Homo-oligomer: A and B are copies of this chain.
Amino acid sequence: MPATIGLVLDCADAPKLAEFWAPALNFVNVWSGGTYVLLMDPSNVEPRLILQQVDEPKSAKNRLHFDLHPPDVDAEVARLEALGAQRGEEITEHATRWVVMTDPEGNEFCVCSAPTE
């Protein structure tokens, strides 16, 4: 049986960042303990996301980031901005439109028009 996949995001304030990422991903906050907050899809679809509070600050562009593929890019970008994300540059490549955004701690992610096939 293959391993199931989870994700861990280092952050400065896990409960506060959970207030962004739970609604951003349409996940629910299911568990908090120590320096961790666990967010999951309500249907328990992978991947789970653990927010892990760490001492070191973010120091470079994240090497791994989320691409979110909503039915409506502009509506999703507006929804995420209202939740506290910042909108950055926009890129069109390989017939896909990417809007680069950052979460409230500056973590990069993209909102994209369609999965690249």
Contact of A68 among B3, B36, B111 (CB under 8 A): B3
CA distance A76 to B3 in the complex (A): 8
Selected A-B contacts with CB under 8 Å, 11 pairs: A3-B68, A3-B76, A4-B69, A6-B69, A34-B93, A36-B94, A36-B116, A46-B46, A46-B47, A56-B61, A62-B64
Q: How far is the CB of A11 from chain B (nearest CB, A)?
A: 8
* Residue tally, chain A, CB below 8 Å to B: 48
Inter-chain CA distance A4–B7, complex, in Å, is 15
Cα(A80)–Cα(B101), bound, Å = 33
A78 is an interface residue with CB less than 8 A from chain B: no
- Select one of B60, B69, B94, B112 contacting A60, CB under 8 A: B60
Which residue of B1, B31, B46 contacts A45 across the interface (Cβ within 8 Å)?
Answer: B46
Complexed CA–CA distance, A111 and B67 (Å): 23
Question: What residues of B have a CB within 8 angstroms of the CB of A76 in the complex?
Answer: 3
The answer to whether A38 and B116 touch (CB under 8 A), given A3-B69, A3-B76, is yes
